[in-house]
């Protein structure tokens, strides 16, 4: 694959975009670039996959509920 020479979209932005945290107005330049750039599309797919995998793993570890219980207990105190 040809590398993307523009590389102006950092991993953090791709991650926020993958999580739906970039507003419609702000994601314009990125989406326009993605339509044209295979290298960045691949980066985005990798980011999306990482998010899916880590979410599944975190859910499985049940860290989520433990954290919540911990936070709730702290509040109760």
Angstrom distance (rounded) from CA 64 to CA 19: 18
Say whether residue 2 binds another protein (CB under 8 A): yes
Applying the rule CB under 8 A, the residues between 8 and 37 that interact with another protein are 11-12, 17-21, 28, 31-37
Say whether residue 59 binds another protein (CB under 8 A): yes
Say whether residue 72 binds another protein (CB under 8 A): no
Cα dihedral 28, 34, 37, 39 sign: positive
Tokens of 30: 């990125």
User: Which single residue is written with the structure tokens 């107005």?
Assistant: 25
Q: Which residues bind another protein (CB under 8 A)?
A: 1-2, 4-6, 11-12, 17-21, 28, 31-38, 41-43, 45-61, 63-64, 67
């Amino acid at each position: 694959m040809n590398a993307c020479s523009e590389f102006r979209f950092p991993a953090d932005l791709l991650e926020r975009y993958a999580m739906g945290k970039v507003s419609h107005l702000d994601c314009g330049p990125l989406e326009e670039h993605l339509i044209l750039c295979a290298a960045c599309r691949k980066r985005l797919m990798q980011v999306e996959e990482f998010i899916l995998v880590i979410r599944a793993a975190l859910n499985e570890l049940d860290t989520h509920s433990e954290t919540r219980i911990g936070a709730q207990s702290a509040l109760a105190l």
